Copies of this chain bind each other. A is one copy, B any other.
């Protein structure tokens, strides 16, 4: 079965990717405009493969944009920086790629690989390396699973390209590429995690592109049906629950060290003393209510507007928004002991927060 993503799917995909972005991964409104434009130009949908359709000796590579979402909504892109970086890496290797991999299924980083795949005439895989979005490069199942960070390519909107031919570790990739991304103006095209078909089969979080589409479609449907609240639909499809409903009463946000960092405070509608506080680094990290942790990384904390379930990136937060905070359990691949070393609360500087997983998993176990 070959599935495709076309113009009729992009609204749902953008919505679902925004939900799985947990605040980060890049603004999906802009991401959707770009994808729609490319779908119109290409005149055909983007082919999507399941990873099992790949033979073990194919060559694939992960793609996305790197940087702060606060920069991504302002900085004008060339539109083909990811494709150019893929081509530069292919030329460096002297070998073409067989498919593109979505590094993170959250935010516009779920859409960018489809756009680039259309430009390059390649399929994308149904899956990603996180089952959500995370702010740093070492925080994906490819790196955690032992896939080398190099060779890696970074490109800017002017066509400038850097290839990191050899890097000591995924953490070094993060540090060096973050630094160059800042030099490139705060956002850059990232081509990282070169894998054979066998390697991507061993490390991919499968089915997350389909999940994003399904979530988006369900929210769009709920807007028409007006039976179930959109936030409840999201929680149901994500095997999670609505943690809080209220108004954003304070946002503190800075774009520092290449990230959108900050915290927000939310107040319940009827009980002003009932407050939730959420900290973020591009993505929402930890949510406290009355001093108690309600949800933390790697589980998903997604904020959607109350009236129609539109997910809010951390770049869009502002005083007065009426929202629901949804907690969803992470995919099982990022809850292993090895993964928690990299994506647990301590990895984000919250060593005092212990990860008590929400029950269940974002996706059912593979058959």
A166 at the binding interface (Cβ < 8 Å): yes
Query: Which of the listed residues A88, A164, A165, A167 has the most CB atoms from chain B within 10 Å of its own CB?
Result: A165
- Residues in B whose Cβ lies below 8 Å from that of A317: none
A179 at the binding interface (Cβ < 8 Å): yes
Task: Give the nearest-CB partner of A167 in chain B.
Answer: B160
- How many chain A residues sit at the interface, stated as a range, is 20 to 34
Q: How far is the CB of A214 from chain B (nearest CB, A)?
A: 39
CA distance A165 to B87 in the complex (A): 11
CA distance A164 to B92 in the complex (A): 11
A162 at the binding interface (Cβ < 8 Å): yes
Check if B166 sits within 8 Å of A176, measured CB to CB. no
CA distance A168 to B183 in the complex (A): 13
Copies in the complex: 2
Q: Contacting A168 at CB < 8 Å: which of B94, B158, B163, B176?
A: B158
Q: Contacting A172 at CB < 8 Å: which of B153, B160, B166?
A: B160
Task: Give the nearest-CB partner of A154 in chain B.
Answer: B162
CA distance A247 to B172 in the complex (A): 45
A161 at the binding interface (Cβ < 8 Å): yes
- With A160-B172, A172-B160 already in contact, the answer to whether A92 and B180 are too (CB < 8 A) is no
Interface positions, chain A 143-194, Cβ under 8 Å from B, are 153, 158-168, 172, 175-176, 179-180, 183
Task: Give the nearest-CB partner of A92 in chain B.
Answer: B92
CA distance A297 to B88 in the complex (A): 39
Q: Contacting A176 at CB < 8 Å: which of B92, B175, B183?
A: B183
Check if A92 sits within 8 Å of B162, measured CB to CB. no
Task: Give the nearest-CB partner of A85 in chain B.
Answer: B165
- Residues in B whose Cβ lies below 8 Å from that of A92: 92, 163, 165
CA distance A165 to B166 in the complex (A): 14
CA distance A92 to B175 in the complex (A): 23
Interface positions, chain A 60-116, Cβ under 8 Å from B, are 88, 92, 94
Known A-B contacts: A88-B166, A160-B172. Give 20 more (CB < 8 A).
A92-B92, A92-B163, A92-B165, A94-B94, A153-B165, A158-B168, A159-B166, A160-B164, A160-B166, A161-B164, A162-B162, A162-B163, A162-B165, A162-B176, A163-B164, A163-B165, A176-B180, A179-B179, A179-B183, A180-B180
Pairs across A and B, CB under 8 Å, 11 listed: A94-B94, A153-B165, A158-B168, A159-B166, A160-B164, A160-B166, A160-B172, A162-B163, A162-B164, A176-B183, A179-B179
